Chains A and B, each alone.
Chain A
């Protein structure tokens, strides 16, 4: 042991150890590559896949500008609606108000307790069940009148159906996120004079986002695929409807067109995964005591110039 106050004159040489070998990883990789090659060879030579039909339709104008576009629109609109409604339901569920609490509970009970396919069929039947919408005094004069059956609104009904179902799941995800924030955070905000609502908005929800984002990304991806159920409304102009119903039925080629649909679902999912990565990174700021590259650079520079270190850097 040398005296702690005097640093050694020369720093010891950096360690250059022989890395640990992992032979079984190589064996596993070789086995998997062989299996994959066999599968790809089989798929390429099997006539049932009809790759020339896949090639013909994968960039088909109707698949892209109608099918893919409608699927994306259904996903985005219903997800945005679902998140907004989910936040509202979660906050209601956690609020001190007993009326809000029970309303939120009943909503969850109904919309989580019935299959989304059944709900979509139901929304499709809304114009039949409620043929007319009137706004006015009950049993009195009417100010506004709308004939639902005269409108053609399957796209709108599909969005409403998907969103209301999804909101129930989003509400639970958001509630879990809010509950994950320590109680002391709400207390500290309250002690600073914030109202419950402001403490939720400024302190609790931003911290809950770190827990909310990953499962929400999951839900967006799940929603992208659930949109293929809108055929129940019935709405047939989404990616699955266009490829596997309209074109496949016309050409008698179900397999390659299913592959076209799967291909585009996979492409969009991949893009969503990249977006999720960046969102997660943004909301995890402050969650770790690990310093950012920029902060490390500043500290290293300070060390280099012989500035007084220590002082409880914490890291």
Chain B
């Protein structure tokens, strides 16, 4: 079976700054991978490379067998047009640290925006599905509230519903709970757990070790642009092999 995400020696630099120095990993279909590590270690950058928000400089990144960002012409790689890149992104949902909801649209408006205008779904159909999704994240009664009237946890749940509305085959979470009050973290993690149990393939950059231990199939510890250690979360968390991992975990656990 083709893995959902397959990274081979992925490198990314911003000018002289090398952020990713050869990331190789695989995420199988239906699996949840959690990425942890200190800030600046390249976790978020790697996540952004997966849906081509950042352009990979070296190595290959495949999602469900498709090369991301380039067209493989045998001897050479060709840059893809923005239109093709947009098409690739439609199947990859992304949830941001700061939610990035559209403030001028209601919760429901946020959820139905892309299905109607990107996919061309009929409005009535999109609204029905949008209401259904909002109910799944526990916000059926907030459909007509604007983001500014919602708490952080509610906003992030709307953001998850918005990403799910495009029926993605892969969901990327970029520190989804880092900007939330401690008591609101739980409601977002609950939605993510439910999503994982339903078989969604997820790549999650997080500092929530409890979530990683409970939900992830694979835990990746990154530092300085490389994967230091990876494996089943229980093993990595309970019995880290590298000094760097030990030092990091001793601070966050």
Cross-interface CB contact of A194 among B118, B146, B147, cutoff 8 Å: B118
A residues within 8 A CB of B166?
Answer: 192-193
Complex Cα distance, B115 from A202, in Å, reads 13
Judged by a CB distance under 8 angstroms, whether B123 is at the interface is: no
Complex Cα distance, B87 from A210, in Å, reads 31
Check B96–A188 contact: CB distance below 8 A. Answer: yes
A residues within 8 A CB of B119?
Answer: 193
Given A192-B90, A193-B86, residue A289 in contact with residue B149 (CB < 8 A): yes
8 new A-B contacts, CB < 8 A, other than A193-B114, A198-B118, A286-B146, are: A190-B86, A192-B163, A193-B90, A194-B118, A196-B82, A289-B148, A312-B153, A314-B151
Complex Cα distance, B147 from A315, in Å, reads 12
Check B105–A191 contact: CB distance below 8 A. Answer: no
Check A191–B117 contact: CB distance below 8 A. Answer: no
Judged by a CB distance under 8 angstroms, whether B100 is at the interface is: yes
B residues within 8 A CB of A185?
Answer: 100, 102
Complex Cα distance, B51 from A184, in Å, reads 15
Check B87–A193 contact: CB distance below 8 A. Answer: yes
B residues within 8 A CB of A315?
Answer: 149
Check A203–B102 contact: CB distance below 8 A. Answer: yes
Interface string of B148-181 (1 = CB under 8 A from A): 1111011000000011001000000000000000
Which residues 182-209 of A have a CB within 8 angstroms of B? 182, 184-185, 187-188, 190-196, 198, 202-203, 206-207
Given A287-B148, A312-B151, A314-B149, residue A194 in contact with residue B117 (CB < 8 A): yes
Check A195–B83 contact: CB distance below 8 A. Answer: yes
- The chain A residue with its CB closest to the CB of B51 is A191
Given A207-B104, A314-B154, residue A195 in contact with residue B149 (CB < 8 A): no
Complex Cα distance, B104 from A185, in Å, reads 11
- CB-defined A-B contacts under 8 Å, sample of 26: A184-B98, A184-B100, A185-B100, A187-B96, A188-B96, A188-B101, A191-B53, A191-B92, A191-B93, A191-B94, A192-B163, A193-B86, A193-B114, A193-B166, A194-B117, A195-B83, A202-B117, A207-B102, A286-B104, A287-B103, A288-B148, A295-B145, A295-B149, A312-B151, A312-B184, A314-B149
Complex Cα distance, B102 from A266, in Å, reads 39
Judged by a CB distance under 8 angstroms, whether B89 is at the interface is: yes
Complex Cα distance, B70 from A225, in Å, reads 55
B residues within 8 A CB of A291?
Answer: 149
Interface string of A268-312 (1 = CB under 8 A from B): 000000000000000001111101000100000000000000001
Which residues 103-127 of B have a CB within 8 angstroms of A? 103-106, 113-114, 117-119
Cross-interface CB contact of A202 among B83, B87, B113, cutoff 8 Å: B113
Listed residue (A188, A289, A314) with the most chain B CB atoms within 10 angstroms of its CB: A188
Complex Cα distance, B94 from A150, in Å, reads 62
Complex Cα distance, B101 from A207, in Å, reads 12
Complex Cα distance, B51 from A67, in Å, reads 59
A residues within 8 A CB of B93?
Answer: 191
Complex Cα distance, B51 from A314, in Å, reads 32
Q: Which 6 A-B pairs have the closest CB atoms?
A: A193-B90, A188-B100, A286-B146, A184-B100, A192-B114, A312-B151
B residues within 8 A CB of A286?
Answer: 103-106, 146-148
Q: Tell me the smallest distance from the CB of A315 to a CB of chain B, in Å.
A: 6
Check B118–A207 contact: CB distance below 8 A. Answer: no
Q: Tell me the smallest distance from the CB of A141 to a CB of chain B, in Å.
A: 38
- The chain A residue with its CB closest to the CB of B101 is A188
Complex Cα distance, B150 from A196, in Å, reads 28
Complex Cα distance, B105 from A137, in Å, reads 50
Q: Tell me the smallest distance from the CB of B141 to a CB of chain A, in Å.
A: 9
- The chain B residue with its CB closest to the CB of A191 is B94
A residues within 8 A CB of B100?
Answer: 182, 184-185, 187-188
Complex Cα distance, B87 from A207, in Å, reads 25
Given A287-B148, A315-B149, residue A188 in contact with residue B102 (CB < 8 A): yes
Listed residue (A182, A192, A285) with the most chain B CB atoms within 10 angstroms of its CB: A192
- The chain B residue with its CB closest to the CB of A206 is B104
Cross-interface CB contact of B118 among A182, A192, A285, A287, cutoff 8 Å: A192
- The chain A residue with its CB closest to the CB of B165 is A192
Listed residue (B51, B82, B102) with the most chain A CB atoms within 10 angstroms of its CB: B102
A residues within 8 A CB of B83?
Answer: 195
Listed residue (B87, B103, B145, B163) with the most chain A CB atoms within 10 angstroms of its CB: B103
Given A184-B98, A195-B82, residue A190 in contact with residue B89 (CB < 8 A): yes
- The chain B residue with its CB closest to the CB of A96 is B82
- The chain A residue with its CB closest to the CB of B115 is A192
Complex Cα distance, B92 from A303, in Å, reads 41
Q: Tell me the smallest distance from the CB of A196 to a CB of chain B, in Å.
A: 6
B residues within 8 A CB of A187?
Answer: 53, 96, 100
Cross-interface CB contact of B150 among A182, A190, A314, cutoff 8 Å: A314
Given A196-B82, A288-B148, residue A191 in contact with residue B104 (CB < 8 A): no
Q: Tell me the smallest distance from the CB of A299 to a CB of chain B, in Å.
A: 11
